[in-house]
Amino acid sequence: MKKFTLIIGIYCAFISAQTMAESVILNPYQVLNVQTGQLDKTQIMISNGKITRMGANLEKNSTDAKVINLPGITLMPGLMDAHVHLMGNTELKGYAGIGQSSQLATIYGVKNAENTLLAGFTTVRDVGAGSFSDVALKDAINNGVVIGPTLFVSGPALGITGGHCDSNLLPHEYNHQSEGVVNSPWEARKQVRKNRKFGADLIKFCATGGVLSKNTDVNAKQFTLEEMQAIVDEAHNHGMRVAAHAHGLEGIRTAIIAGVDSIEHSSFIDEATIQLAKERGTSLAMDVYVSDYILGEGAAKGILEESLAKERTVGKIQRQNFKKAVEAGANLVFGTDAGIFPHGKNARQFKYMVDWGMTPLQAIQSATIRTAELFDMKTTGAIRENFTADIIGVTGNPLEDITLLENVDFVMKNGKIVKQ
pLDDT at 108 (0 to 100): 96
Cα distance between residue 146 and residue 128, in whole Å: 21
Question: Could you give the residue range(s) of every CATH 2.30.40.10 domain in the chain?
Answer: 2-77+382-419
Contacts of 12 (CB under 8 A, 6+ apart): none
pLDDT at 7 (0 to 100): 52
Q: Which is more confident, 6 or 262? A: 262
- When the candidates are 3.30.530.20, 3.40.228.10, 3.10.450.50, 2.30.40.10, the CATH number that belongs to 2-77+382-419 is 2.30.40.10
Name residue 69's amino acid. Answer: N
Q: What is the DSSP string of 227-245?
A: HHHHHHHHHHHTT-EEEEE
Rounded to two decimals, the pTM is 0.93
Question: Could you give the residue range(s) of every CATH 3.20.20.140 domain in the chain?
Answer: 79-374
**Residue 20's pLDDT band (cuts 50, 70, 90):** very low
Catalytic site residue 287? no
CB atoms within 10 A of CB 217: 16
pLDDT at 14 (0 to 100): 44
Catalytic site residue 204? yes
Q: Largest Cα–Cα distance in the chain?
A: 73
pLDDT at 95 (0 to 100): 81
Cα distance between residue 405 and residue 392, in whole Å: 9
pLDDT at 365 over 60: yes
Q: Which of 81, 134, 261, 337 is catalytic?
A: 337
Q: Which CATH architecture has domain 79-374?
A: Alpha-Beta Barrel (3.20)
Tell me which DSSP letter residue 119 carries: T
* Neighbour-count burial for 389-420, b at 16+ CB within 10 Å, e otherwise: bbbbbbeeebbeebebbbebbbbbbbbbbbbe
pLDDT in tens, 156-214: 999 999 999 988 777 888 887 889 999 999 999 999 999 999 999 999 999 999 998 99
Q: Which of 93, 138, 204, 301 is catalytic?
A: 204
Backbone torsion region of residue 158, taken as left when φ is above 0, otherwise alpha when ψ lies between -120 and 50, otherwise beta: beta
pLDDT at 199 (0 to 100): 98
